[in-house]
Chain A
Amino acid sequence: MAWDGTLTPMPVNEDFVPKIQVFEPHRASLPPLIPYLKEFWTRRSFALELARFTDKAEYLDSRLGKIWLVLNPLLLGFVYYLVVTIIRPGGKDPGLTRLDHLLIGLFTFYFAQNCVTAGASSITAGGRLILNQAFPRALLPFSSAIQSFQQFLPTIPVYIFVLVVGKWAYPTTIVPGWTWNFLWIPFILICTGLTGFGLALVFATLNVYFRDTNKLLTYITRIWMYLSPVLWLPNTLRGSMKILLYINPLGPVLDATSRVWVSGESLNKLSFYGSIFWALASIMIGGYFFISRERDFAIRI
């Protein structure tokens, strides 16, 4: 079949825009940040579409797959709830309040965990893209973060459903009515996402150098969850143990999650500043670690 010339003819190279790029050895540890961030920003739709398409590819053949995304943490939540109530039956929490705390904590924790684990393998999994195209590599873990957020969203109606059913079955369950404190929720989610993305940058870089990082990460995230206020309530920590809540990058946001979602309270100072601190610290440390090494990725993949 011969080509019939259907491609639109292009003008003589008049669309040439001088665009000088200089590639030099990277002695400086960071590339110029402003151009990097500009490139990152102009290609943000790439990260968005990549998240959408990856999601589509993963769940293309199973509607059930998508349902499983919600069902999995939900069932785990019930299992954990059983275990926790067997260890410490009764407690002083009325009705199913503790289940509600556990579920929303677990969902939020999984959001962060997915950012980290999916982001950590995004570079090594992005082989061809990395070898054949020059673009800010941080877009790949960023795309994983977006995907994790999209997977988190459908768990919100599930949470509300459990809340309502729980209230109906156990009327003593505490259910906060509408309060303006719910406006903290976007703040919490942004901080959670940023913290997860920042940590993903660290682990994605490590994973390029040490291919068993991902395996290690499965243990880390498990221990991390037990150390986070998901299975236990933040206010069970007494005295110097309280520090556990703040040296954990997700401690403050999970504390805040419990306060806002379950009790309808506002954040306290520590959880507010703690959330901001960990979001910024993760992004800055992860960003530095990642961006200063990303020019090495192509030769190490």
Chain B
Amino acid sequence: MPNDLAIRIEELSITYKVSLEAKRTLKNAVMRASLKQKERTRTIEAVKSLTLDVPHGSVLGIVGSNGAGKSTLMRCIAGILSPTEGRVIVNGKISTLLALGVGFNPALSGRDNIILGGLASGLNMDEISDKTDEIAEFAALPDGFIDLPVRTYSSGMYGRLSFAVAVSMTPDILLLDEALSAGDAAFKEKSFERMRQLCAEARTILIVSHALATVTDLCDTAIWMHKGSLVAKGKPEEIVDGYLKFLNVGSLPSSYEDM
């Protein structure tokens, strides 16, 4: 892999096999086996032979309608899902902020969760205790909420904390999936600021967002995914334009059809 690439994706396909049974239980499995039935399943191709190179220091926006496979792609780059076919090569330390937020345990305080999240992502205890205050400060939760259980948080507070954790890991590659949607205007400004700073430090950022302005504002390249395939790649403005047209018209532009 060339040295200037942060991520190389080769002919990547990811399929989910979904059970159509109401509940996957041992009991049902035994019943099925005794009746010689097969489990009813459906295969969903979430990503279809996608090829993409992401150079170091680029900020890539990913747009596409619901179910296009954006989150699936992000999970695969993070090493959480493994490919069904193809290959993903990643060069650098990854930090993820995926749709569900960092793995927060709702019964624990924000501070405890920061520590756990940091340790899970591979920091050691010294590194994370240095960072905890910094993260808490950046998230700027009101009224000492940082020491209350996460279950008492509003979704925006939750989002703030997740974002603060993800950007504090000084990642080489930062994956953000719908990360900026929950914060209020003030926090959005602050997080944009922080992301620009990360961009300036030549870190690689992948942003999935339905807020298309985020993509045009922050990204230097964008891709558009549709039903698991890459439809187009190019300048954010052009991609967003094409995507908006598609949303209004409802069909893929003919020039994209064979891609």
Contact = CB atoms under 8 A, between A and B. Distances in A.
Interface of A: 1-3, 6-13, 15-26, 39, 42-43, 45-46, 49-50, 53-54, 56-58, 60, 126, 128-135, 139, 206, 209-213, 216, 295, 298-299
B89 interface: yes
B23 interface: yes
Interface string B86-103: 111111111011101111
Contact of A21 (B23, B86, B90, B137): B90
Interface string B45-83: 000000000001100000000000000000111111111
Given A43-B122, A49-B116, A23 B103 contact: no
Given A131-B75, A131-B103, 17 more contacts: A1-B186, A2-B189, A3-B190, A7-B194, A17-B172, A22-B90, A25-B82, A50-B116, A129-B120, A130-B80, A132-B98, A132-B102, A133-B96, A134-B96, A212-B26, A213-B26, A298-B80
A45 B87 contact: no
B186 A2 contact: yes
B140 interface: yes
B85 interface: yes
Contact of B122 (A20, A24, A42): A42
A24 B83 contact: yes
A28 to B, nearest CB: 11
A210 B32 CA distance: 13
B258 interface: no
- Pick from B85, B86, B107, B149 the residue with the most CB of A within 10 Å: B107
B201 A13 contact: yes
B79 A21 contact: yes
Interface string B105-120: 1011000100111011
A132 B194 contact: no
A20 B1 CA distance: 9
Contacts of A6: 134, 137-138
Contact of A46 (B16, B57, B96, B120): B120
A46 B87 CA distance: 29
Nearest to A3: B190
Interface residues of B, number: 69
Nearest to A134: B79
Interface of B: 1, 3, 16, 23-27, 29, 56-57, 75-94, 96-98, 100-105, 107-108, 112, 115-117, 119-122, 124-125, 134, 137-138, 140, 149, 170, 172, 186, 189-190, 193-194, 197, 200-203
B116 A131 contact: no
Contacts of B189: 2-3
A116 B89 CA distance: 36
Nearest to B192: A3
Contact of A128 (B27, B103, B119, B202): B103
Given A23-B82, A42-B122, A129-B120, A8 B134 contact: yes
B89 A21 contact: yes
Given A10-B170, A13-B202, A210-B24, A53 B108 contact: yes
B14 to A, nearest CB: 9
A24 B13 CA distance: 10
A85 B112 CA distance: 48
19 contacts: A6-B137, A10-B170, A13-B172, A17-B172, A18-B92, A19-B93, A21-B89, A22-B90, A23-B82, A24-B83, A42-B122, A42-B124, A45-B124, A50-B119, A57-B149, A128-B104, A131-B75, A135-B120, A216-B26
A129 B49 CA distance: 28
Given A7-B134, A57-B107, A132-B100, A16 B120 contact: no
A135 B172 CA distance: 17
Nearest to A132: B98
